Chains A and B, each alone.
Chain A
Amino acid sequence: SQTIHQWPATLVQPVGSPLSLECTVEGTSNPNLYWYRQAAGRGLQLLFYSVGIGQISSEVPQNLSASRPQDRQFILSSKKLLLSDSGFYLCAWNGDTNTEAFFGQGTRLTVV
């Protein structure tokens, strides 16, 4: 069965520090991968999606970047965090023929 792992669950980082959030998927190949951010009590904002290794599409200009070094690995990064980067980050995947998406448990990022 397919599973998705996202870590860490919580993170507190100072302003100006780097960020690396990792997401891995098991049990499937060539998934579409997504990074979303959710502000408190709000909907999900699509940050990045990837349809294959090295293929990254960005939805909004921002302080963040994403990479897909392997088929089932998706990394969200920042060189220097801003206070406004605080939020709940969710990784998700879906397949090519079935667009039901499966989500990780999320990372609560607090930039202080």
Chain B
Amino acid sequence: SQQGEEDPQALSIQEGENATMNCSYKTSINNLQWYRQNSGRGLVHLILIRSNEREKHSGRLRVTLDTSKKSSSLLITASRAADTASYFCATDEGSARQLTFGSGTQLTVLP
């Protein structure tokens, strides 16, 4: 079953603007991850935030995690056309550390 669910499903912004995507999940997690997928390609890992962390930064990416609300957000600052892709959150469940993914947010950055 799908654990993480992202919203919005699609987001279109102008280059230079910030993009915010949200993810909600249902059960306890060890960590939450964000991935990026260019059309027709495999997923690429962006950032991992552990359940005891509240915020994490990596370059233009900022991820927050609120375990009380079972939600996370991914912020991409100063977006570029090359950021156009689908973004997925993924959570791990239990000792097997299987990853379950949400349905993703399709981000389009217009030049």
Note whether A and B form a binding pair. Answer: yes
A residues near B (Cβ < 8 Å) are: 6, 32, 34, 36, 41-46, 49, 51, 57, 59, 88, 90, 92, 94, 96, 99-106, 108
Give the residues in chain A near B48, CB-CB below 8 Å: 99-100
Whether B101 and A106, one on each chain, are in contact in the complex, defined by CB atoms closer than 8 angstroms, is no
Pick from A36, A46, A94: contact of B97, CB below 8 A: A94
Give the residues in chain A near B35, CB-CB below 8 Å: 101
Instruction: Given A100-B48, A102-B45, A104-B42, verify A57-B30 contact (CB < 8 Å).
Output: no
Total residue contacts A-B, CB cutoff 8 A = 66
- Of the four ranges (under 10, 10 to 19, 20 to 34, 35 or more), the interface on chain B belongs to 20 to 34
Instruction: Given A43-B2, A43-B104, A44-B88, verify A103-B99 contact (CB < 8 Å).
Output: no
Whether B96 and A42, one on each chain, are in contact in the complex, defined by CB atoms closer than 8 angstroms, is no
CB-defined A-B contacts under 8 Å, sample of 10: A41-B106, A42-B104, A43-B88, A43-B104, A45-B2, A57-B98, A96-B97, A99-B99, A102-B45, A106-B40
Whether B40 and A108, one on each chain, are in contact in the complex, defined by CB atoms closer than 8 angstroms, is yes
Which label, helix, strand, loop or mixed, suits the secondary structure of the B interface? strand
In the complex, whether B82 has a CB less than 8 A from a CB of chain A is no
Q: Which residue of A lies closest to B106 (CB)?
A: A41
What's the minimum C-beta distance from A2 to chain B, rounded to whole angstroms? 12
Q: Which residue of B lies closest to A4 (CB)?
A: B42
In the complex, whether B67 has a CB less than 8 A from a CB of chain A is no
